Structure 1
Amino acid sequence: MPISPGRFRAIYGARLPHLLVLTGCFLLAGCALSALGPDRLFGADVWWQSIAVWFVGAAIVVDLILLPLCAAANRGLIAVLGSRRAVPHPAPRVPLVNYIRVPVLASGLLLVLFLPGIIEQGARTHLAATGHTHAPFLERWLWLTLLFCCLSVLAYAVRSCVRRIRSTPSTEGERDD
């Protein structure tokens, strides 16, 4: 007798596609582990540069430090800007919270990506391999952060104008010919 989707969700806690994607991720991680080899996960000479230490450290930093900081920043942002439900407005307004969250998140993720270049980790190896220095990493990250903020301001302005145009009552009898 097949299990119904509701019963599967009650047993597993999520739908079947979630289980399939999670299984695929574990299979991909297993393939990567077998291709790398267990000896490459733990460096005997410089243990702090091993993949396993960085993986566990990243999981600890994200779960115990970054997630609570992001939740606190989100609560603070909503407290400062106010919730749309808490403050009734005569005309509908566009909530500002997501237009701040998205560029900050994108900038933070790119900072994590560019951080080794910004702090010039492996500068000699990078110079020997590419012939370039780490100098442009900080500048590129700052330019991308500025671009994200400008695009967010532009998207907010466009959405606010569209919302304002849609909320103004139009008169049927007046037409510009």
Structure 2
Amino acid sequence: MPRRVPLGSPLQILLLACSFALAAYAGVRLLAGDWFGVALWIVAAALLHDLVLVPLYAVADRAVVHGLDAAGRREWVMYVRVPAALSGLLLLVWFPLVFNLVDGRYRLATGLSPDVYLGRWLLITAVLFGASALLLAARARGARKRRSPAVH
């Protein structure tokens, strides 16, 4: 008996087809100008990510896991991973502005100063870690309340 190919619902297939069409349109528009420069940038970004950034992520994650495991707090790992990953993603996307590596064309094109991005990124990072710490404290308090016997 031949096996059925799992296709999903018609809505899923339609959404997938639309996303492929949008990606194809974006690719054609992106590569219409300097296709070699764009292709070179994509390959260089992939190599930088795979050969430099992934090992750095892994070493940092292992250090966090080892440090929290040694302190007997292994369950805290996700409360460090999530804000660190979000902060790192923001830094990766906005690093030219965060480190003020833009030239005068940025100010002329946008009318904005790039001087505020470092402070804003640090503030967002502090808020992410603070929210994570509050969530951890709330969950730990809830777990303590569930463990303690009710006194009447």
User: TM-score, normalized by length of structure 2?
Assistant: 0.79
2:58 corresponds to: 71
What SS class does the counterpart of residue 95 from structure 1 fall into? helix
Kindly state the Cα deviation for residue 40 of structure 1 after the two structures are TM-superposed.
Answer: 2.4
Kindly state the Cα deviation for residue 62 of structure 1 after the two structures are TM-superposed.
Answer: 1.5
Cα distance change of structure 1 residues 153 and 63 upon mapping to structure 2, 3 Å threshold: same
For the Cα contact (< 8 Å) 1:41–1:51, is it kept in 2?
yes
Cα distance in 2 for partners of 1:112, 1:106 equals 10
Give the unaligned 5+ runs of structure 1: 9-14, 43-49, 88-92
Kindly state the Cα deviation for residue 99 of structure 1 after the two structures are TM-superposed.
Answer: 0.5
Cα distance in 2 for partners of 1:127, 1:165 equals 54
What SS class does the counterpart of residue 114 from structure 2 fall into? coil
1:54 corresponds to: 41
Higher CA-based Rg: 1
For the Cα contact (< 8 Å) 1:96–1:156, is it kept in 2?
yes
1:125 corresponds to: 105
Q: More deviation in 140-149 or 24-33?
A: 24-33
* Structure 1 runs (4+) greater than 4 angstroms displaced: 20-27
Cα distance in 2 for partners of 1:34, 1:113 equals 23
1:3 corresponds to: 3
Q: More deviation in 67-76 or 147-156?
A: 67-76
Kindly state the Cα deviation for residue 122 of structure 1 after the two structures are TM-superposed.
Answer: 3.6
Residue 30 in 1 paired to residue 21 in 2?
no
User: TM-score, normalized by length of structure 1?
Assistant: 0.69
For the Cα contact (< 8 Å) 2:97–2:117, is it kept in 1?
yes
2:135 corresponds to: 155
**RMSD of Structure 2 on Structure 1 (CA):** 3.1
Cα distance change of structure 1 residues 25 and 66 upon mapping to structure 2, 3 Å threshold: farther
Cα distance in 1 for partners of 2:50, 2:20 equals 20
Kindly state the Cα deviation for residue 105 of structure 1 after the two structures are TM-superposed.
Answer: 0.6
For the Cα contact (< 8 Å) 1:99–1:152, is it kept in 2?
yes
For the Cα contact (< 8 Å) 2:68–2:77, is it kept in 1?
yes
2:76 corresponds to: 96
The percentage of counterpart residues that share the same residue type is 34
